[in-house]
Structure 1
Amino acid sequence: MRKLGLLPKILLAIVLGIVIGSFAPEWAVKGLATFSGLFGNFLGFAIPLIIIGFIAPGIGELGKGAGRLLGMTTGVAYISTIIAGLLAYFVAVGLFPHILEVGGLVNQYANPEEALLKPYFTVDMPPIVGVMTALLLAFTFGLGAAVIKGNALQKVMVDLREIVEKLIASVIIPLLPYHIFSVFANLTYGGQVTMILSVFAKVFVIIIALHLIYLLVQYSVAGQMGRKNPFTMLKNMMPAYFTAIGTQSSAATIPVTLRQTKKNGINEKIADFVIPLCATIHLSGSTITLVSCAMAVMMLNGMSTSLAVMFPFILMLGVTMIAAPGVPGGAVMAALGLLESMLGFNTTLTSLMIALYIAQDSFGTACNVTGDGAIAVITDRMSKSETA
């Protein structure tokens, strides 16, 4: 098991959860529910730490960059992320009601939670602060560190980020497959898994299609602005796309992304600045996935998916993606606080989100890094216009 990557482990956990849940006795499933309950509570405790640990130093580091170039790149990356989220939202509104059984779980069960077995016991693990308080603290500390002259606060926040990264990499990610296994065993025992699996398959196909469509949009805009052939640029970026599928990490793919971006005729200094920065702040593919998966889970549970509900979530997601740690599944971990505080997700729904997200994480990462090349073209053109 240790030699398997996170995605194979998650897929294996889903399969085993379905198999075990279909014949296991009630006492065994309740035991698994106890584990998933304890893990879910621990995850709730960790979410504010993840928010503060990643957003605060991320904003602090952005504030000490290279002036106008930093501002341009960050602005273009944020706008790209928001457009990606809105694209996913409107496609979900148009397609999901026709391919998913809207309110299916609510129609089948008056309260879907009642179909799940309760744990034998729970241990209360209250977070140190609420999610919104954590967001406000992160923005306050991050902006403060960017403004003041001293580096002491920034160094503390960077150390905190390293601690949180270790927590995610050493505790949360290794236990995540067991949590998913327990949740799917419980869902199978409660008779809900068939509907959920059909959602997985349909949403997965739509997400991959959206990734490809959005890359075409990004490179069409970049080609128009940079007076370059968008298809030639996309072809040059394919090594980065397929490398990201293998690594599941934007950071690990930086050398390949940088090399292929320079092949598109981008100024080397611009490319050297933009590509490493965008590996952190530009996660359009991850945003498409998160919005699509959230919409599917919400529709399945009969929750409101109006633009008034989702647009603030998308705006905050664009900022929170800066916090996404450099581990597989990091983006969904960084977004858990928003899912709970803004969309009202409970432990079961966040577990479904994690499983849905990680199942296609490598494709989302590939969309992210390939899109970074388009951001570099746009930034290069904008910087030339300013100096002209």
Structure 2
Amino acid sequence: MSDRPFSFRAPSLVVQIVIGLVAGIVLSQLWPGGARAVGLLGTVFISALKAVAPILVLVLVTASITNHRHGQKTNLRFIIVLYVLGTLAAALVGVTASFLFPSTLTLKAAEVGLNAPSGIDQVLRTLLMQIVDNPVHALLNANYIGLLAWAIGLGLALRHASESTRTLVSDLSQAVTWLVRMVIRLAPLGVFGIVASLLAESGLGELKTYLHLLYVLVGAMLFMALVGNPLIVAVVTRRNPYPLVLRCLRESGITAFFTRSSAANIPVNMELCRKLGLQEETYSVAIPLGATINMAGAAITISVLTLAAVNTLGIAADLPTALLLSVLAAVGACGASGVPGGSLLLIPLACSLFGISNDIAMQVVAVGFIVGVVQDSAETALNSSTDVVFVAAAEQARARG
């Protein structure tokens, strides 16, 4: 008989999230009224993530630049190249999938109370105005481009501050990071509430009309996550990419799938980067930047839904136009906000390439919101997990020399 003392080891966070997922499904089927009530848990969790993410980005980036050591490489330029390459590759995957498995839509008159960009110049102008946004306004509205700009500026200025000031900034960064870890521990309860209330209120019956479209969308995203991204990582690191890719999908993709917000998943990605042993000076800037411009899933959504509208209207799409759509979808995706449904508002911009009127394009947006229960979740999981994949890949490539 062993004299080793008995110890109970709590399951990992991922296992707890899966337990919360299963419990939410069961509750939604057995007690719909109770499932709607526990939806408050999901609302609180997502709100907590969204509340802590902006201050995390501002403080962590400021502290990283303030305490940055001279001569230490951050590899940010290479990471941005990977972000752009991955988004463009995803757009090409979406276009190819649409040609191989063409989809059509049932377009109905629908009012969508949202304003879509009128052109790519408006997208770029919006990004520029976000950079020069008031810092208080940027915090209140989770404008991560503006927060990055202010954090970089403050960090550069504080590099000339006294040692005690720099230590204070570092201590503040550690305190905010501790708060973020506490919020992330709420993920199982949050997922439980989100799933239970979602299935109890809407179910998935309305999605049956658009199953083929969902197959193309989710299939293209899975291909990018399990083939496209690993191929890029393998070329960059010259090693087996799947341990890294699968871990990022497991520890970042699952929470992103349920929060449906790349911005809300920033704290989760920061914690994963820390556990992977990545350089804080790099990931503290690259992760929030990726939540804004690394939008592989959004590029697929824009491409597939645009070509579905093209097929529905009987418009001929030749290869040069399809390639142009890929570039436009990739650039437009970089302007998609890191919130649920952000990519859908770029569809009218892509539809304009084929001469599709804004009225019809907004009906396609309405279809996007119908399938968004699944599409937006899968899109965010791909977007957010890819942020960590490329940051880690760049770090591995740098270490390899």
Asked whether the two chains share a fold, i.e. TM above 0.5, the reply is yes
Aligned partner letter, 1:155? D
Aligned residue-pair number: 262
Which deviates more from structure 2 when the two are superposed, residues 311-320 or residues 251-260?
311-320
Which deviates more from structure 2 when the two are superposed, residues 319-328 or residues 348-357?
348-357
Cα 1:161/1:288, change in 2 over 3 Å:
farther
Shift of 1:290: 1.8
Q: Quick check: 1:222–1:377 contact (8 Å CA) kept in 2?
A: no
Cα 1:272/1:312, change in 2 over 3 Å:
same
Which residue is 2:386 aligned to?
371
1:225 counterpart = 2:229: no
Q: What are the Cα deviations for residues 127-164 of structure 1, in whole angstroms up to 9, with x where unaligned?
A: 9x96366357558x56xx98xxxxxxx23699599789
Q: Quick check: 1:211–1:367 contact (8 Å CA) kept in 2?
A: yes
Which residue is 1:210 aligned to?
220
Which residue is 2:151 aligned to?
none
Q: Quick check: 2:237–2:397 contact (8 Å CA) kept in 1?
A: no
Q: What are the Cα deviations for residues 287-323 of structure 1, in whole angstroms up to 9, with x where unaligned?
A: 1122112111210111232232232232233222232
Aligned partner letter, 1:90? T
Which residue is 2:309 aligned to?
297
Query: Which whole-Å CA distance do the structure 2 matches of 1:280 and 1:84 have between them?
Result: 16
Q: What are the Cα deviations for residues 334-359 of structure 1, in whole angstroms up to 9, with x where unaligned?
A: x1451353232432332223422524
Cα 1:205/1:331, change in 2 over 3 Å:
same
Query: Which whole-Å CA distance do the structure 2 matches of 1:337 and 1:352 have between them?
Result: 8
- Match of 1:204, SS state, is helix
- Match of 1:303, SS state, is coil
Q: Quick check: 1:236–1:260 contact (8 Å CA) kept in 2?
A: no
Query: Which whole-Å CA distance do the structure 2 matches of 1:130 and 1:226 have between them?
Result: 40
Which residue is 1:342 aligned to?
353
Which residue is 1:236 aligned to?
247
Q: Quick check: 2:270–2:287 contact (8 Å CA) kept in 1?
A: yes
TM-score (norm 1): 0.56
Which residue is 1:83 aligned to?
89
Unmatched tracts of structure 2, length 5 or more = 1-64, 144-205
Which residue is 1:95 aligned to?
101
Cα 1:267/1:70, change in 2 over 3 Å:
closer
Shift of 1:380: 1.8
Which residue is 2:50 aligned to?
none
Of the three residues 298, 302, 311, the one matched with 1:286 is 298
Q: Percent identity?
A: 21
Query: Which whole-Å CA distance do the structure 2 matches of 1:155 and 1:136 have between them?
Result: 14
Which residue is 1:273 aligned to?
285
Q: Quick check: 1:290–1:332 contact (8 Å CA) kept in 2?
A: yes
Query: Which whole-Å CA distance do the structure 2 matches of 1:133 and 1:230 have between them?
Result: 37
Of the three residues 109, 133, 136, the one matched with 1:155 is 133
Q: Quick check: 1:222–1:375 contact (8 Å CA) kept in 2?
A: yes
Query: Which whole-Å CA distance do the structure 2 matches of 1:130 and 1:375 have between them?
Result: 31
Aligned partner letter, 1:221? I
Aligned partner letter, 2:253? Y
TM-score (norm 2): 0.55
Shift of 1:90: 1.2
Cα 1:302/1:296, change in 2 over 3 Å:
same
Query: Which whole-Å CA distance do the structure 1 matches of 2:77 and 2:323 have between them?
Result: 23
Query: Which whole-Å CA distance do the structure 2 matches of 1:242 and 1:197 have between them?
Result: 21
Query: Which whole-Å CA distance do the structure 2 matches of 1:380 and 1:79 have between them?
Result: 17
Q: Quick check: 2:74–2:281 contact (8 Å CA) kept in 1?
A: no
Aligned partner letter, 1:309? T
Unmatched tracts of structure 1, length 5 or more = 1-64, 106-111, 120-125, 147-153, 166-195
Of the three residues 314, 323, 332, the one matched with 1:311 is 323
Which deviates more from structure 2 when the two are superposed, residues 277-286 or residues 207-216?
207-216
Q: Quick check: 1:294–1:353 contact (8 Å CA) kept in 2?
A: no
Q: Quick check: 1:251–1:326 contact (8 Å CA) kept in 2?
A: yes
Query: Which whole-Å CA distance do the structure 1 matches of 2:394 and 2:275 have between them?
Result: 16
Q: Quick check: 1:226–1:377 contact (8 Å CA) kept in 2?
A: no
1:249 counterpart = 2:261: yes
Q: Quick check: 2:344–2:368 contact (8 Å CA) kept in 1?
A: no
Which residue is 2:119 aligned to?
131
Q: Quick check: 1:207–1:288 contact (8 Å CA) kept in 2?
A: yes
Cα 1:353/1:310, change in 2 over 3 Å:
farther
Cα 1:223/1:261, change in 2 over 3 Å:
farther
Q: What are the Cα deviations for residues 75-118 of structure 1, in whole angstroms up to 9, with x where unaligned?
A: 2211111110111111211221xxx56xx98xxxxxx89xx69x
Cα 1:73/1:330, change in 2 over 3 Å:
same
- Match of 1:252, SS state, is coil
Q: What are the Cα deviations for residues 264-294 of structure 1, in whole angstroms up to 9, with x where unaligned?
A: 4533433333222111110101211221121
Shift of 1:362: 1.0
Cα 1:242/1:340, change in 2 over 3 Å:
same
Which deviates more from structure 2 when the two are superposed, residues 301-310 or residues 201-210?
301-310
